[in-house]
Structure 1
Amino acid sequence: MMFSVGPWELAIVLSKALSYLGLVSLSGGIFVLWLGTRVQPATLSRHNHSLEDKSRTGSAPTGGWSAQTRLRLVNLLLLACVVGAFAVVLFYLLQVGVINQMGMSGMFDIGMISLLAQSSVGHGAGLKLGGFGLAGAVVMLCRSDLLSSRKRLPLLLICGWLLATILFAASFALLGHIAELGLLPRLAIIAHIVVIGLWIGALYPLYLLAGSESSERVRPLLQLFGKAGWIIIFGLLVTGVTLVWQVLGNVSE
C-alpha cells in the first residue's frame, strides 16, 4: 500500500525541517565559536610568531582565525536566525491554511490566525519565533565583538543563547507527542535535542574553517571538538537511557 503525501503535508514537514536546521545551525555555530576561545595559544601554529605574540597579549582573534572566517561564522548565525524565524512563520501559516481548507488564500485569514494564536500551536510558534528573534538581536549586538580580537565570547551572547534555548525548549514541551509526557521525559527529550544540535550544527562551521584556514589553525580546534564529542556522546546516552526508562515505565503501568 502506497503512502501518499499531499503538498500541504510536505510543506509542513519542510517548514519544520527548516526550523530545526536554523536551531542546530545557531547552536552549533556558537559552540564552535566557544571552542575557538578554548584553543590555547601554544597549540596554534608555532611558526607564526606574530600570531603567538598577539595571543599572549590577548589581542589574537578567536582561534587565530582570519577576519573573513569570523565574518562568515557571524553571518551564518544571523542566517540561521532568519531562516528559523521564516520557517516558524511559514509553519504557522500552513497550519492556518490546513484548518481553513481554502487553499493558499486561507493561510492569511486574520480571524483564523488570531484564533490559532490562542492554541498550543500558536504558543509554541510564538516561543520559537521569540527565541530566534532574541538570538538574532543578541548576535547583532555582539557582532563587533565577535569580529574583533576578543579572546572570550561576549557574556551577552552566551546569556542570550541560553535564554533562546529555554524558549525553544518550552515550545517543544507544548507541541506534538512531547506534550503528553511527564516532566522528566520532556526534559530528557529537550536535552537530547540540544545535545544533538550542538554536534550536528557544529559540522558545517567546522567545514567552513577547514576550507578557509590553514591546517595548523584548524587542527587544534578539531582535536578539542573530538574531546568534546565524548561529553556529547555521554550526554546522548544519559538522556536516551532516561527517556527509554521513562517510556517503558509508562507502558508497563
Structure 2
Amino acid sequence: MSVWLLASLVTKSLVYLAMLATGGGLFVSLLYPLKAITVRYLLPATIMGLLAVCLFFLVHIGQVNQQGVSGMFDMQLGAILAETTLGEGLRWRLAGFALVLIAAATIWLADTHSRFHGWIAAAFIVGLLGCIALAVSVAVLGHVNILDMATRVTAALHLLAVSVWIGALLPLLWVCQQAFQGDRYPGRLILLLRQFGQFGWLFLGLMVISGIWMAWQLLGSFSALLTTTHGRFLLAKLALVALLMALGASNKFFWVSRLAESQNRHGAVKGLRLTILMEIVLAVAVVVATALMTTVEGPVR
C-alpha cells in the first residue's frame, strides 16, 4: 500500500467517524440533554470532520499530482478537481459538518445561558439538515454514484440509519457513567435506554434492508461475495455488524431489564458499559472496513 493510499484511507476513516457521530450525538441529545455530549462529542466530531474533509481533498490532489507533499497544494489541479464529482461531494460534506457545528454550538449556548433556551428546537432542525447534507454526500461520492437514483437514495438513508445507531454508542456510554449515582434508582437512564431501544431497532432494520439492497446492486451476484476482493471485504464487514447486532440485543433484552429489576444495579451498569464499549470497538472496525472497501478495492460493477 502506497503512502498516498494509506493517507487517503486514514483521512476517509476520520471523515466516516465524524459523519457517524453527528446523527447519533444529536439523537441522544434530543432524548437526554447532557452538556458533555455537546462539548465532548458533537463539537469535536464536527470540527474533526471539517478538517478531515479538507485534508482528504489535499491528499487526493497529492495522489493525482505525484509530486510529493508540495504537490498537495497545487492550486490549479485543486481547482480542476473541485469541479468534479469529488468536489461536489466534498462541498456537501463541508456544508453538512458546518450545519451540525452551528447546531451543536447553539445547543451548548442554550445549555449554558437560559435566555437562549428557546433556540434549541431550531438548533435540532439545523442539525437535521446537516445530517441530510452528509447523507447526500454519500450518494454523490463513492461507488453508488454510478448506479440509479433509487440506489443512491438508499445509500443516503443507509448512512442516516447507521449514524443514529452507531453514532449514539459513545454518548450512551457517557450517560451510563453520569446518570447512575449511588444507590438511587436510575430512572432517566432506563427511560433513555428503552427509548433508544425502541427507535434503534427501527433504524437498525432500515440499515440492514438498505445495506442488502446496495450490496446486491454493487456486486450483482451472491458468488461475488466469495470470488472478489470487494465481496470478501463485505463479508468481513457483515460479520462485524452481526456481532454488533448481537451485543445490541444483549443490551436491550438483558442488561436494561436487569438494570430495572436487579438489586445489584451497580453490576448491571458495569455490564452495560462494558457491552457498549465492545460495540464501540466493533463500530470502529466496521468504519475501517468500509474505508478499505471504498479505497483499496472497488465493487464488481
Judge same fold: TM > 0.5, yes or no: yes
Q: Distance in 2 between matches of 1:132 and 1:8?
A: 25
User: Does structure 2 conserve the Cα–Cα contact (< 8 Å) formed by 1:96 and 1:112?
Assistant: yes
User: Does structure 1 conserve the Cα–Cα contact (< 8 Å) formed by 2:162 and 2:204?
Assistant: no
1:173 match: 139
- Out of 231, 239, 243, the position equivalent to 2:210 is 239
- Out of 34, 42, 50, the position equivalent to 1:85 is 50
Q: Distance in 2 between matches of 1:74 and 1:170?
A: 24
- The amino acid across from 1:238 in the alignment is I
Q: Distance in 2 between matches of 1:121 and 1:212?
A: 42
The answer to whether the aligner puts 1:29 opposite 2:25 as a matched pair is yes
Instruction: Provide closer, same or farther for how the CA distance between residues 137 and 153 of structure 1 changes in structure 2, counting only shifts above 3 A.
Output: closer
Query: What TM-score, normalized by structure 2, do the two folds share?
Result: 0.65
Instruction: Provide closer, same or farther for how the CA distance between residues 153 and 232 of structure 1 changes in structure 2, counting only shifts above 3 A.
Output: farther
Q: How many residues align?
A: 215
User: Does structure 1 conserve the Cα–Cα contact (< 8 Å) formed by 2:103 and 2:124?
Assistant: no
Q: Distance in 2 between matches of 1:33 and 1:73?
A: 7
SS in 2 for 1:102: coil
Counterparts in 2 of 1:56-75, with a 5 A limit? Answer: 62=33, 70-75=34-39
Counterparts in 2 of 1:185-196, with a 5 A limit? Answer: 185-196=151-162
User: Does structure 2 conserve the Cα–Cα contact (< 8 Å) formed by 1:25 and 1:80?
Assistant: yes
The answer to whether the aligner puts 1:17 opposite 2:38 as a matched pair is no
Query: What TM-score, normalized by structure 1, do the two folds share?
Result: 0.77
1:124 match: 89
- The amino acid across from 2:42 in the alignment is L
Q: Distance in 1 between matches of 2:143 and 2:218?
A: 12
User: Does structure 2 conserve the Cα–Cα contact (< 8 Å) formed by 1:74 and 1:146?
Assistant: no
Consecutive aligned runs of 4 or more in structure 1 exceeding 6 Å deviation:
148-153, 248-251
User: Does structure 1 conserve the Cα–Cα contact (< 8 Å) formed by 2:42 and 2:104?
Assistant: yes
The answer to whether the aligner puts 1:200 opposite 2:166 as a matched pair is yes
1:99 match: 64
Instruction: Provide closer, same or farther for how the CA distance between residues 248 and 118 of structure 1 changes in structure 2, counting only shifts above 3 A.
Output: closer
Superposition RMSD on alpha carbons, in Å? Answer: 2.5
> Which digits, 9 at most, give the CA deviation of each residue in 1:128-184, with x for residues without a partner?
111111211222233222446799982222221222123212222221211101011
Q: Distance in 2 between matches of 1:162 and 1:189?
A: 17
User: Does structure 2 conserve the Cα–Cα contact (< 8 Å) formed by 1:185 and 1:247?
Assistant: no
Q: Distance in 1 between matches of 2:179 and 2:101?
A: 26
The answer to whether the aligner puts 1:227 opposite 2:198 as a matched pair is yes
User: Does structure 1 conserve the Cα–Cα contact (< 8 Å) formed by 2:22 and 2:45?
Assistant: yes
Instruction: Provide closer, same or farther for how the CA distance between residues 18 and 247 of structure 1 changes in structure 2, counting only shifts above 3 A.
Output: closer
Q: Distance in 1 between matches of 2:144 and 2:219?
A: 15
Q: Distance in 2 between matches of 1:94 and 1:163?
A: 28
1:39 match: none
Give 1:127 deviation, angstroms: 1.3
The answer to whether the aligner puts 1:142 opposite 2:138 as a matched pair is no
Q: Distance in 2 between matches of 1:203 and 1:132?
A: 19
> Which digits, 9 at most, give the CA deviation of each residue in 1:109-142, with x for residues without a partner?
1111112111111111111111111211222233
Q: Distance in 2 between matches of 1:243 and 1:100?
A: 32
Instruction: Provide closer, same or farther for how the CA distance between residues 104 and 239 of structure 1 changes in structure 2, counting only shifts above 3 A.
Output: same
> Which digits, 9 at most, give the CA deviation of each residue in 1:163-216, with x for residues without a partner?
212321222222121110101111112111210111110000011111122160
Q: Distance in 1 between matches of 2:106 and 2:30?
A: 17
1:163 match: 129
Percent identity over the alignment? 33
Q: Distance in 2 between matches of 1:244 and 1:101?
A: 33
2:76 match: 111
Q: Distance in 1 between matches of 2:62 and 2:215?
A: 36
Instruction: Provide closer, same or farther for how the CA distance between residues 119 and 245 of structure 1 changes in structure 2, counting only shifts above 3 A.
Output: closer
Structure 2: 5+ residue stretches without partners: 223-301
- The amino acid across from 1:226 in the alignment is G
Of 147-156 and 212-221, deviating more is 147-156
SS in 1 for 2:83: coil
